[in-house]
Every structure is written in C-alpha cells, then in structure tokens.
Amino acid sequence: MSMAMQTRGPSVAQRRGAAAARPPLAPAPLARSRALRVCAAAPVAGAAKIIDGKQIAEDIRREIAAEVAALKAATGKAPGLAVVLVGARKDSETYVRSKKKACAEVGFESFGTDLPEDASEQEVLDVVARYNADPNVHGILVQLPLPKHIDEQRVLDAISITKDVDGFHPQNIGSLAMRGRSPLYVSCTPKGCLELLKRSGVELKGKTAAVVGRSNIVGLPVALLLQNEDATVTMVHSRTPDAAEVVRRADVVVAACGRAEMVRGDWIKPGAVVIDVGINAVDDAAAKRGYRLVGDVDFKGACERASAITPVPGGVGPMTIAMLLQNTLEGAKRQIGAPAN
Ligand SMILES: Nc1nc(=O)c2c([nH]1)NC[C@@H]1CN(c3ccc(C(=O)N[C@@H](CCC(=O)O)C(=O)O)cc3)C=[N+]21
Ligand SMILES: [Mg+2]
C-alpha cells in the first residue's frame, strides 16, 4: 500500500504551481479562528461541517510569523530551514518551492541544495552532514521520495535528531511510541491531523478511532498521537479482513491509505469526525486540467453521515506545511536558547 501523502504524478504539482503568490504574512494578534466551524449538534444527514484546513493553516502561519518577529527582536536570529532535493520530479520541485515560499512568508531563513538525479548516496550524506554542523540551520528536510539507488532510511538516519523537523528519524518515532518519552519532533502530517481535531474542538478522550493505513510517515504516528490523547485506536490496513466493519465503530476516522475514495460513505458512523489525508489525482474530462484531486474518502457519501470532515484539497495538505514551520520554529528556539541579557 502506498503512502497517502505521496502524490501521483506531476499533475498535482502543476496545480500547486498555479497557487497565487500571497503577500508576506504580517505578524498579527492571535487569530480568532474563522475555522472553528464544528458544532456538537446531533448528526443531521448531509450536514457535515467542513474543517477548513487552509484557513486553520493560515491562522497558524500568522501566529508563527508573530513569534519569529519576537525571536528576531530578542536574539537577532531567525529560524533556518534547509531543504534538500535530489532529482527533478515535478511534484517534488513544486513542494520544495512552496516550502521555501512559506519560510519566506513567516520570516525564516531558507537554505537549499538541489542535487542531480544521479547524485550518489555519499553526496547526499555529505550535504546532510554540512547542514547538521551549520548553526544557522535549525531544521533539515530531505524531500522524499529519493531516487531508487539511494537508501532513504540511511539518509534520514543521518539527520541530527535535533534538526529532524520531519520527525522521520527512528529515535523521534520511537519516542512517540513510548509512554514517558517525548519526541523532539512529531512528523508534520500526523501533527497537522491532531491540530485540526484540536482546533475544531473535537474531544478524543474515551473515543474510538480508526486509522486506515499503516505507513511510517502517517498511519503509524497518527495512531500513536490519537492513543496519547486517550482515544482507543484500531489500525486498519490491506490485510484487515473487514475494514468497513472496523471503521463503522469509530468516532474518529483518519484515512491515510493512498487509495482514491477507498473509505466509502456508508463506512462512516453517523456523527463521526473524518480526517482525510489522501491526495489522489483522478482523470476527469470535465475538469479544467483533465483531472481532479480526491482524498482517500468518498467525500460526498461521508458528508451524509459525518458530523465534520476535512476536504481535499484544503484539508490536511496545507497543515503539513504549517506544522513544518512550527517544528522549525520550536527547534530554532531550543537551539538558539534564551537571549544573553
Ligand atoms: N521529507 C518530506 N516531508 C514531507 O512532508 C513530504 C515529502 N517529503 N514528500 C512529499 C509529501 C507531500 N507533502 C505535502 C505537502 C503539502 C501539501 C499541500 O499543501 N496540499 C494542498 C494543495 C494540494 C494541491 O492543490 O496540489 C492541499 O491539500 O490543499 C500536500 C502534500 C509533504 N510531503
Ligand atoms: Mg511518548
């Protein structure tokens, strides 16, 4: 089963490339979130509230911009994020561009190294080592997927855990899995899912949750995070005999299986909250570009039963980048430390 957050082909990237340039985010008072639209009312058919990830992500970026301004004023230093891109996949290039743009908007310093498709594993490791040693770089992100001849896990393992803003280092994932330990960083997409639930006022304590998909980068950490919030979590995957039956018992559903609209509307328990991590491009002759983006959930069907649901696009995706910024800011604050006076 493929990772839900992996996009299929360059088409998604092209669409992202079309995103209009936004003016830099001015530091503003803590946003009164316009996105808090989830009500606790009894479920009414077709009445699912839309959890507006784009708006929530914008609120968070505004909060981050204000904190960066304060950090700069106090220390003279800005958080620095380094992004390493190997090869020329159109979708990766677009993601990297939007990450760098997001950095600029909140006042981060951004560093980048682009290596050719045929770069050796050692060359990539050398770049990581250089950023590990650079005191102006507080976070390092190696854009995935890497070309096949490079051992992805070896590269991720080489990132200093203090700069592992993706939270993909086994020590960060391991700490998340252990009671009594806290990871330095929690991966961005899982953290974004939890932040959407929190900012939408969804109580997790004592609730049942189903996570569809068991990837290292989404399904597994999201399940651990939900469990840490005292939800009772079941993971559903490609070898689960009756996925629908498990999902039907869940108060909270996180879909991260990487299959377009696999979670059907009639799998959703009436009143459940649905977080859709999938981004799948499906052919659609009627759409402007000949395709449209859909999630891992049958959105229309799920809206008939859910009390709240994230859309695709505009749900989890924008939160991934907001959480990357948040992780980098947190890392920078730890590494820069308090001002000398
Ligand atoms: N080391 C690493 N870390 C990552 O976090 C990472 C990665 N590699 N490789 C690729 C995936 C994918 N990913 C997304 C980021 C933003 C959106 C996003 O902003 N989506 C918008 C726009 C969607 C569109 O219009 O194309 C939305 O869902 O509304 C989606 C997906 C981060 N990834
Ligand atoms: Mg723990």
Amino acid letter, residue 186 = V
Best CATH choice for the domain 35-51+200-318 from the list 3.30.1240.10, 3.40.50.720, 1.10.260.40, 3.40.50.300: 3.40.50.720
Instruction: Categorize the per-residue pLDDT at 197 as very low, low, confident or very high, splitting at 50, 70 and 90.
Output: very high
Mean pLDDT for the chain overall: 89
On the question of pLDDT at 34 being above 60, the answer is no
Give the type of residue at 108.
Answer: F
- H or E element: which one contains 59? helix 53-75
Report the distance separating Cα 192 and Cα 198, nearest Å: 10
Residue type present at position 257: C
The pLDDT score that the predictor gives to residue 333 is: 97
pLDDT digits (tens, 9 = 90+) for 128-172: 999 999 999 999 999 999 999 999 999 999 999 999 999 999 999
31 pLDDT band (50/70/90 cuts)? Answer: very low
Does residue 43 carry a pLDDT above 90?
Answer: no
Greater confidence (222 vs 8) lies with: 222
Q: Do domains 35-51+200-318 and 76-167 have the same CATH topology?
A: yes
Better-predicted residue by pLDDT, 225 or 12: 225
Integer Cα distance of 314 and 16 in angstroms? 12
Query: What digits encode the pLDDT tens for the residues 62-87?
Result: 999 999 999 999 999 999 999 999 99
Q: Which of 279, 296, 312 to mutate to test the pocket of ligand 1 (most atoms within 8 A of CB)?
A: 279
Q: What is the pLDDT of residue 339?
A: 59
Q: Which of 55, 59, 91, 143 is catalytic?
A: 143
Pick 292 or 22 by higher pLDDT: 292
Q: What is the pLDDT of residue 337?
A: 83
Contacts 24+ apart (CB under 8 A), 261-265: 261/294, 261/295, 261/296, 261/297, 261/298, 261/299, 262/212, 262/296, 262/297, 263/212, 263/296, 263/297, 263/298, 263/302, 264/298, 264/301, 264/302, 265/298, 265/300, 265/301, 265/302, 265/303, 265/304, 265/305
Domain ranges of the chain: 35-51+200-318, 76-167
55 confidence band (pLDDT: 50, 70, 90):
very high
Q: Which residue has the tokens 């999938």?
A: 278
| pLDDT confidence band for 16 (50 / 70 / 90) | very low
CA of 177 to the centre of ligand 2 (A): 5
Q: Give the C-alpha separation, 143 to 85, whole Å.
A: 5
143 given a catalytic annotation: yes
Which residues touch 246 (CB under 8 Å, ≥6 apart)? Answer: 210, 234, 236, 240
What per-residue confidence (pLDDT) applies to 246?
98
Per-residue pLDDT for 29 more than 70? Answer: no
d(CA 278, CA 212): 11
Question: Is position 99 annotated as part of the catalytic site?
Answer: yes
Residue 38 is classified by DSSP as -
Report the pLDDT value the prediction gives residue 22, as an integer from 0 to 100. 47
* Model pLDDT for residues 164-174, shown as the tens digit of each residue: 999 999 999 99
Rg of the chain on CA atoms, in Å:
20
Give the pLDDT confidence score for residue 303 in this predicted structure. 97
**Structure tokens of 100?**
């760098």
What is the maximum span of the chain, computed from C-alpha positions, in angstroms?
63
Query: 194 pLDDT band (50/70/90 cuts)?
Result: very high
pLDDT band at 287 (very low <50, low <70, confident <90, very high): very high
CA dist 214 and 209 (Å) reads 14
User: Ligand 2 centroid to 176 CA: how many Å?
Assistant: 4
Residue owning the nearest CA to atom 30 of ligand 1: 317
Superfamily the domain 76-167 falls into = Leucine Dehydrogenase, chain A, domain 1 (3.40.50.10860)
pTM over 0.80: yes
Name residues contacting ligand 1 (CB within 6 A): 5, 12, 15-16, 95, 141-144, 166, 188, 279, 293, 312-314, 317-318, 320-321
Nearest Cα to Cα of residue 60 among 83, 95, 82, 34: 34
Q: Which of 55, 77, 91, 99 is catalytic?
A: 99
